[in-house]
Amino acid sequence: MGEIADGLINGEFDFHTGEYLGEGQGFPRTADKSLPWEKQEKNYVNGIKRFLRMFGLYNVRAPMDMYIDEKYPNKKKASLEEKCKVASDNWVEFKEWVNANFHFNPRKND
């Protein structure tokens, strides 16, 4: 594929308008929040849970508590949902932290 197509798929460009949005997050994105699918409430816990499973981590709370304690101690008493939102809002930093603290552990098919 071309560079622009890759950018659309990776989320660097708005898939609706083609505008540059910044570093991609691995999925198509749009800044147009009036679209029906953009109005949905995001479930930050499930997104973080799916990401952490790639590292063999099935309990979200423990790694999130570690991350928040280390990076955002003022959010220590926040709910799990709020902690996951902080991680999502700082996604690049969170991914780097997880990579530094845990090893990728893909599940093997039996």
Residue type present at position 2: G
Name the residue with tokens 């932290």.
Answer: 97
Determine the angle formed by the axes of helices 44-53 and 80-89, rounding to 10 degrees.
Answer: 70
- Check pLDDT > 60 for residue 109: no
Among the residue ranges 24-38, 39-53, 75-89, the one predicted with the least confidence is 24-38
Q: pTM of the entire structure?
A: 0.59
Percent of the chain scoring above 90 in pLDDT: 42
Helix (H, G, I), strand (E, B) or coil at 20: strand
- Are 85 and 45 in contact by the 8 Å Cβ rule? The answer is no
pLDDT computed for residue 72 by the predictor: 95
Q: Say if CB 10 and CB 3 are below 8 A apart.
A: no
Mean pLDDT of 55-66: 92
> How crowded is residue 79: how many other Cβ atoms within 10 Å of its Cβ?
10
pLDDT of residue 39: 64
What is the chain's length? 110
Backbone dihedral angles phi then psi of residue 34, each to the nearest 5 degrees: -85, -10
